[in-house]
Structures are given as structure tokens and as C-alpha cells.
Amino acid sequence: MKEQAALTRDKPSQIFAQVVSTCEDDVQAMMPREENCKRTMRYQRPAPPVPQSFADVTLPAEFTITTKNQQFLLYDNGQNAENRMLVFCSPDSLRRLAEAHTFFMDGTFSVAPHPFKQLYTIRVPFKDVTVTTVYAFLPNKNQDTYRELFQSLVDKCQASHLQLNVQTVVTDFEDGVLRAVSAVFGRHINNQGCFYHLTQATWRKIQSLGLVLHYKISDDFRLFCGMMDGLAFLPVADLPNGVHLLRTLCPDDPPEAAELLDYFDATYVSGNMRRNPAPGQGLRLVMRRTPPMFPPTIWNVHDATVNGDSRTNNVCEGWNNKFFNLVGYAHPSIWRVVEWCQKEEATVRTLIQQDAVGTPPVKRVQQRYVQLQLRLQNLCRDLTSGNKTIAEFLRGVGWNIRLNH
């Protein structure tokens, strides 16, 4: 068995069946268990060569199935594709994906194997936790690539007589993903940006403006930044008043604080004023306001906070970190990553089987986050009931945000 495993690409189950069929009864009786034999054979088999280009990526059979021999490779656009894509999803996971009303989607680059640029995953709620259903090896971050990925899921669901029921998609603030979601899943989809990524975008702007040191040493400036991110917790109708208030509170030191607020307002709230040709008036230009790149409907979390829904995509961020630790190091071979995807699929299957016999999964939440959620809910309710002004509300939210981020 070991020799055949090392010299052929036959499945371990095929080799086991072939060998035992030629053995005498007394030999068969003394053989190790089938699973032990198959595990030993897998250890004997050398990994295929590491592909150097998309055209070199040829998946042996054992990398296209789950640990239970179900089909795992869902979509492959072919070796001749300029932008190669591999999508893995078991039949059970596809059904779970189709039934879900919410998708949590994110890409990780640290474990992306050459020549791919990212491993993109889609997670869906299951009881009180979320589980990974789709593992996609993508060549880039282009809108067309995301559209092809999402369309492959729609097509495979239709081929399996499944109907996608997604209503909300939680992502980071990536324009290509948002546009692809609307194009493939429909404009009715609620695109919800991750609040954590919103605060990260603000932090990157603080860094680019050279304000990190000022942020660390100035309590007033740090609170102002928290209040700016706290706009996400205002009802959408109150956002113009919230921005106007922050302009009156904008600190003179550092002077770049006004530029930071201008960036936030232009990107997420009001958009920009631009000169555009006046229709039917020759070369005359008029000032028109263009919409923000990420409108408030994407990043506002007031309703989610009041209802106790998720405001972040941290379920994906946490999974990305866990998966990196499992894989062991950055940018491994594609074979190592696929093997760990197979193991993760088996872990999800085990969790669901345990739930089926009465052992539901338990969500572990740190107590400080429970208290944070309660404080933010109280602030939102105080605002809507008139017990707090917008200024008091933003100060309260800003203090909580900067305390916990």
C-alpha cells in the first residue's frame, strides 16, 4: 500500500480496496483499520510540485474532495484563464449558504498561496456562531473577479435546485466587493460595512496626516476622533446635524483635525463638490455634489446596535487569525492550504453533527464586550427618547469607541 501510494495518484480508499481483495483471510483479519491504513498512505504520498503560474495549477483528485469523499471543488475557471480562480464548497455547505440570510465575507492575504493573491471566505450564521461555507482562491481584488465568484455560487445553487436567500452582506469597505454584490445578488441586498474597518480607515487617515503622536498624547483630540467614528451610531437622519456639531467642536490643535473631518464627511456622509459641465450651456461649469463613496446606509450601525445585531465582520477576522495559526506560516503551498480547508470543512461538519444530537455550539464572548454593547444600546435609546442631546450622545459613544479600539 505504501509503495502504491508513493508511486500513483490513486485514492487511498482505492488502493486499500485493491490490496485487501488479493489478501488471504488470515492476513485480512490482522490488518490495521482502514482509516489507519489510509492515513499512513497519505503520509507516504509526496506533495505535487508547487505551481509557479496559474497554468501550472492542476489539482490531483484528493485535493478536490472532502475528508468524507464528497465533492469539494465547486468551481474552477480553467488552466487557460488569465485570472485563475478556485472555489471550494461542499454540497452541505452550499445548502447552508443558500439558506442563510446573512453572509460575512472577507479576504486574507497572509495564507494566500502563490500564484493566488488572497483566500476569500464566506461565513454564515449557525445557531449562536458562524461557520465557513466557501473558500475561494482569487487572483486579485478586482470587481470582475468578485462578480465571477458570486455568479459561480448563484449558478451552482441553481444547478443544485437551491435558491439563495441572502438579504444582508457584511464586508469591509471594498468598493469592488460592494458593486459586485449589487450586480450579482441584486440591488435589494443590504450591504453592511464593518464598523471595525471603518475605525481602521479613520486610523489610517490619522497616520497619513502625521497625527499619531498627537492622538496618543491629546485626550481632546482622541475623543474628537472617537466622536467622529461615533457618527455611525447616529440615526441616518441626524447625520448632517452630527457633522455640523463636530465642525463646531473641531480642535484648533492640531490644525489637520479639520482635514480629517473633511475626509470623513466627503467619503462617508456628504460627498464632494465638483465642477461639471452645465447641460446645454456650452463650456459653462456648475458646482454639483457627488455622492460619498460609501453612503451612510452601508456603514450606519444605529439600528444594528439597538437590535443587538452584528456591527462588525470580526467573525471573519477571528477566523483568518485562527486559520493562519493552523497553517503555520505565511504564503504556504497551495496543497497545504487546501488540506487545511478540507480539515476546516470537517470541523464544521463535526460541529453541525454535534448540534444534531443535542450539543449546540457555544459562542464565547468576553464580558467587556457584553458591557460595551449594553452601554452603546443605552446611549442609542437615550438619544431617540430625547434624554441625551447629539453632543452628549457623541461624547458618550466616542469615549466607548476609543476605550475599546
- 75-96 tens-digit pLDDT: 999 999 999 999 999 999 999 9
pLDDT of residue 366: 78
Q: Residues 157, 357, 130, 63: is their CA dihedral positive or negative?
A: negative
pLDDT of residue 275: 60
- For the chain, what is the mean pLDDT? 90
Tell me the Ramachandran region of residue 210: left when phi exceeds 0, alpha when psi lies from -120 to 50, beta otherwise: left
Q: Which of 7-21, 203-217, 359-373 shows the lowest mean pLDDT across its residues?
A: 7-21
pLDDT of residue 405: 53
pLDDT of residue 272: 81
| Contact (CB, 8 A) for 273 and 262 | no
C-alpha cell of 222?
482622541
* Omega within 30 of 0 (cis) for the link into 115: yes
C-alpha pair distances (Å), 325 with each of 43, 312, 321, 330, 371: 21, 22, 6, 10, 29
Q: How many residues does the chain have?
A: 405
Q: Residues 250, 263, 195, 201: is their CA dihedral positive or negative?
A: negative
Tell how many helices (H) and how many strands (E) occur in the chain.
Answer: 18, 9
- Per-residue confidence at 273, pLDDT binned at 50, 70, 90? low
For residue 43, pLDDT over 70 is answered with no
Write out the DSSP string of 323-352. Answer: HHHHH-SSS--HHHHHHHHHHHHHHHHHHH
Helices (H), 255-366: 257-264, 296-299, 302-307, 314-327, 334-356
Per DSSP, 63 falls in state G
Alpha carbons within 13 angstroms on the beta-carbon side of residue 370 total 5
| Contact (CB, 8 A) for 105 and 169 | yes
| Contact (CB, 8 A) for 10 and 45 | no
In the predicted model, what is the mean pLDDT of residues 286-299?
Answer: 83
Classify strands 168-171 and 102-108 as parallel, antiparallel or unpaired. Answer: parallel
| Contact (CB, 8 A) for 119 and 111 | yes
Q: Is 266 exposed, middle or buried (0-12, 13-18, 19+ CB in 10 A)?
A: middle
The overall pTM is greater than 0.85 = no
**Direct distance between the N- and C-terminal alpha carbons of the chain, in angstroms, rounded to an integer:** 55
Phi first, then psi, for residue 368 (nearest 5°) are -65, -30
- In sequence order, which residues have a C-beta less than 8 Å from that of residue 225 and are 6 or more positions away? 202, 206, 215, 260, 398, 402
pLDDT of residue 315: 75
The Cα 56–Cα 34 span in angstroms is 33
Q: Residues 90, 92, 98, 103: is their CA dihedral positive or negative?
A: negative
The Cα 394–Cα 400 span in angstroms is 10
Tell me the Ramachandran region of residue 186: left when phi exceeds 0, alpha when psi lies from -120 to 50, beta otherwise: left
C-alpha cell of 225?
476622533
- Please give the radius of gyration of the chain, using alpha carbons only, rounded to the nearest integer: 26
The Cα 190–Cα 194 span in angstroms is 12
In the predicted model, what is the mean pLDDT of residues 218-239?
Answer: 96
Alpha carbons within 13 angstroms on the beta-carbon side of residue 122 total 26
| Contact (CB, 8 A) for 21 and 309 | no
Going from the N-terminus, what domains does the chain have, and what CATH number goes with each?
Answer: 2-44 (no CATH), 54-194+312-355 (3.30.420), 199-301+365-404 (no CATH)
* Omega within 30 of 0 (cis) for the link into 254: yes
| Contact (CB, 8 A) for 12 and 41 | yes
**pLDDT per residue over 338-397, tens digit each?**
999 999 999 999 999 999 999 999 888 778 888 999 999 999 999 999 999 999 999 999
Phi first, then psi, for residue 155 (nearest 5°) are -65, -45
pLDDT of residue 384: 95
For residue 7, pLDDT over 80 is answered with no
**pLDDT per residue over 239-268, tens digit each?**
999 999 999 999 998 999 999 999 999 999
C-alpha cell of 252?
484648533
Q: Residues 174, 179, 181, 187: is their CA dihedral positive or negative?
A: positive
Q: Which of 111-115, 119-123, 265-269, 284-288 shows the lowest mean pLDDT across its residues?
A: 284-288
Q: Which of 72-76, 154-158, 215-219, 368-372 shows the lowest mean pLDDT across its residues?
A: 368-372
